């Protein structure tokens, strides 16, 4: 169900324009007005074309999720048939689909699970979620985003931008080979269908049997998510022109997922009277958050929670997933992943939203308006003038806007290194470059294609996408002309200051933090 969401793009307008619509086996696209603009969502997935049994390619990379829609309805036989019927419109519309057909996963990978060489906490969490997921919950009329769904959406992150010089494969090439560890993902519909069939076999006499992909139908017909976020179907034409053009469309989805996380967190903040910034939590607030998250995910309560976690928020944020797992084998992964989402969500906030802990109840996540600006901030716009514009948060949104302050929260980490949580002021930021790089490194789910750890213990990291890292740095500092040449010059200044050093074996784009800056 999650990949379905990727087909809809956040849009500020209702989808008044005619929809592409399947009308049955003929698969004719017709233009018609819809009383309910969302009613076409389920129709876009003509499940009658799916075989009832196995034998269909249901394991797909998330990246190519929209392609499953094409592939399911567009096998070769149908193509020939429809061409012979002279359905010029459809043929034209899908004339390039053959070149976009899903390439089967490499044979080295198992059918249902593509292992990730560097499975992130979020990925592992999703895998856990995927394998233990109760199919019946798919039909829930209220598909609120839980952590797993957010995580999955976070893993649809597009690869590096076209102008990038990194080695990240393009969306086209990504289909044919193992993906970058940080962006690969999959949807195993086959396992879902098998679970559904098993349930049907186990309950042969129940009247609740749902034939003909009823489960998927219910999922697709459930437009609560789309209505809630005013989403519209993704125009298939955009795929004809190449996935590169679609790349930017994924970013709103990512922001949407982040927005969900932030809003959920916002509610929890209000309930627990805690800051949205985990680094600002006291030990008691850490315990409150842990309990709340355990309850939220219906995880078993942990005995001696206070004894197990004596850290404050700053120290908690530094704990590894392994440490979480060691302390809480059943829940550690989920809690760590959830904490990563909180950290990532808070790190993305503009400075005016990052306030000291004086009034935690007033600390809010970005408003929709600010998230929109965040999208602009994240996208690779060449229009640098746009970034110079300072905006005032829109008080008409449904979150409370607080009085703007330009406080940058400085915390001291457990290692004693001063840590700044990435605030931005109107004219740039006081964040140091090395702190910014660590910030990027701390969110591999988002920035793993741009910068990643080579050896975290030694503080060695590699800039995979120098252009992107430089752009991110320039945007953070409000320096539109920033490029890697300048950024690397700044990094080299750290050699003299003892913040960074050259690696033993000099490698391009590989740097190393000096102790204790990488702690």
Partner DNA sequence: AACAAGGAAGGGA
Partner DNA sequence: TCCCTTCCTTGTT
The one segment of 236-244, 264-272, 356-364, 506-514 that binds DNA by CB under 7 A: 506-514
- Cβ contacts of 101 within 8 Å, gap of 6 or more: 67, 70, 71
The one segment of 42-50, 243-251, 444-452, 482-490 that binds DNA by CB under 7 A: 482-490
3-class state of residue 44 by DSSP: coil
DSSP 3-25: HHHTTEEE-SS---SPPP---ST
Measured from the CB atom, is 19 or 477 closer to DNA?
477
Q: Is 493 in the site for DNA (CB under 7 A)?
A: yes
Nearest-approach distance from CB 506 to DNA, in angstroms = 5
Measured from the CB atom, is 81 or 381 closer to DNA?
381
Measured from the CB atom, is 299 or 509 closer to DNA?
509
Q: Is 484 in the site for DNA (CB under 7 A)?
A: yes
Applying the rule CB under 7 A, the residues between 452 and 481 that interact with DNA are: 466-467, 473-474, 477, 479, 481
Measured from the CB atom, is 106 or 162 closer to DNA?
162
Measured from the CB atom, is 87 or 405 closer to DNA?
405
Draw the binding track, 13-32, toward DNA (x: CB under 7 A; -: no contact): --------------------
Measured from the CB atom, is 59 or 466 closer to DNA?
466
Q: Is 432 in the site for DNA (CB under 7 A)?
A: yes
Token reading at 210 = 């749902």
Please work out the total of residues on this chain that contact DNA, with binding judged by CB under 7 A. Answer: 31
Q: Residues 261, 345: contact at Cβ < 8 Å?
A: yes
Question: Length of the chain in residues, anyone?
Answer: 519
Q: Is 490 in the site for DNA (CB under 7 A)?
A: yes
Q: Residues 395, 401: contact at Cβ < 8 Å?
A: yes
Nearest-approach distance from CB 502 to DNA, in angstroms = 5
d(CA 421, CA 444): 16
Which member of 183, 257, 290, 482 binds DNA (CB under 7 A)?
A: 482
Q: Is 434 in the site for DNA (CB under 7 A)?
A: yes
Measured from the CB atom, is 16 or 502 closer to DNA?
502
- Using alpha carbons, select from 178, 348, 211 the residue that is nearest to residue 276: 348
d(CA 246, CA 243): 5
Which member of 23, 80, 85, 165 binds DNA (CB under 7 A)?
A: 165
- Using alpha carbons, select from 331, 343, 335, 297 the residue that is nearest to residue 446: 343
φ and ψ at 101, to 5 degrees? -60, 150
Which residues of 118-225 form beta strands (DSSP E)? Answer: 186-188
Token reading at 518 = 């990488």
Nearest-approach distance from CB 437 to DNA, in angstroms = 10
d(CA 389, CA 478): 10
φ and ψ at 70, to 5 degrees? -75, -45
Measured from the CB atom, is 160 or 293 closer to DNA?
160
Which member of 93, 172, 327, 486 binds DNA (CB under 7 A)?
A: 486
φ and ψ at 411, to 5 degrees? -125, 160
Helices 189-202/214-221 angle, 10° precision: 120
Nearest-approach distance from CB 466 to DNA, in angstroms = 4
Measured from the CB atom, is 227 or 489 closer to DNA?
489
- Cβ contacts of 173 within 8 Å, gap of 6 or more: none
The β-bridge partners of 448 are none
Q: Is 506 in the site for DNA (CB under 7 A)?
A: yes
Residues that bind DNA (CB under 7 A): 165, 427, 430-434, 466-467, 473-474, 477, 479, 481-482, 484-490, 492-493, 495, 497, 502, 506, 508-510
């Amino acid at each position: 169900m999650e990949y379905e969401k990727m087909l809809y793009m956040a849009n500020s307008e209702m989808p008044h324009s005619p929809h592409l619509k399947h009308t049955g086996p003929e698969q004719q696209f017709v233009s018609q007005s819809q009383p309910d603009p969302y009613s076409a969502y389920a129709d876009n997935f003509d499940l009658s074309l799916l075989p009832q049994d196995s034998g269909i390619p249901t394991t797909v990379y998330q990246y190519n999720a929209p392609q499953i829609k094409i592939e399911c309805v567009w096998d070769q036989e149908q193509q020939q048939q429809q061409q012979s019927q002279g359905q010029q419109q459809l043929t034209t519309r899908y004339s390039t689909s053959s070149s976009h057909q899903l390439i089967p996963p490499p044979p080295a990978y198992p059918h249902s699970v593509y292992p990730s060489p560097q499975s992130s906490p979020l990925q592992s969490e999703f895998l856990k979620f995927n394998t233990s997921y109760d199919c019946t919950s798919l039909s829930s009329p209220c598909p609120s985003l839980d952590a797993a769904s957010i995580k999955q959406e976070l893993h649809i992150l597009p690869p590096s931008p076209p102008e990038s010089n990194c080695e990240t494969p393009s969306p086209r090439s990504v289909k044919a080979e193992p993906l970058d560890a940080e962006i690969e993902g999959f949807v195993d519909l086959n396992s879902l269908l098998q679970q559904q069939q098993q349930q049907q076999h186990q309950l042969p006499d129940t009247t609740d049997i749902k034939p003909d992909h009823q489960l998927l139908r219910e999922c697709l017909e459930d437009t609560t998510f789309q209505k809630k976020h005013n989403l519209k179907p993704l125009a298939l034409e955009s795929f004809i022109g190449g996935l590169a053009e679609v790349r930017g469309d994924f970013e709103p989805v990512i922001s949407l997922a982040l927005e969900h996380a932030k809003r959920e967190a916002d509610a929890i903040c209000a309930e627990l009277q805690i800051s949205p910034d985990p680094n600002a939590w006291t030990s008691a607030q850490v315990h409150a958050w842990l309990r709340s998250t355990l309850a939220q995910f219906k995880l078993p309560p942990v005995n001696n929670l206070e004894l197990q976690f004596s850290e404050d928020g700053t120290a908690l944020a530094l704990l590894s997933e392994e440490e979480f797992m060691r302390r809480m084998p059943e829940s550690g992964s989920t809690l760590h992943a959830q904490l990563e989402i909180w950290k990532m969500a808070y790190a993305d906030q503009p400075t005016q939203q990052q306030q000291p802990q004086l009034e935690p109840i007033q600390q809010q996540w970005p408003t929709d308006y600010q998230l929109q600006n965040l999208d602009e901030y994240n996208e690779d716009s060449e229009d640098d003038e746009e970034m110079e514009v300072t905006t005032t948060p829109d008080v008409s949104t449904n979150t409370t806007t607080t009085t703007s302050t330009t406080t940058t929260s400085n915390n001291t980490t457990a290692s004693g290194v001063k840590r700044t949580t990435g605030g931005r002021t109107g004219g740039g930021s006081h964040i140091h470059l090395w702190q910014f790089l660590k910030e990027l490194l701390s969110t591999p789910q988002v920035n793993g294609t741009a910068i990643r750890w080579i050896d975290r213990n030694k503080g060695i990291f590699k800039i995979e996408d120098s252009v992107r890292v430089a752009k991110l740095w320039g945007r953070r500092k409000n320096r539109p002309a920033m490029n890697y040449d300048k950024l690397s010059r700044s990094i080299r200044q750290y050699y003299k200051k003892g913040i960074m050093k050259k690696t033993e074996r000099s490698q391009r784009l590989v740097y190393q933090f000096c102790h204790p800056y990488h702690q």
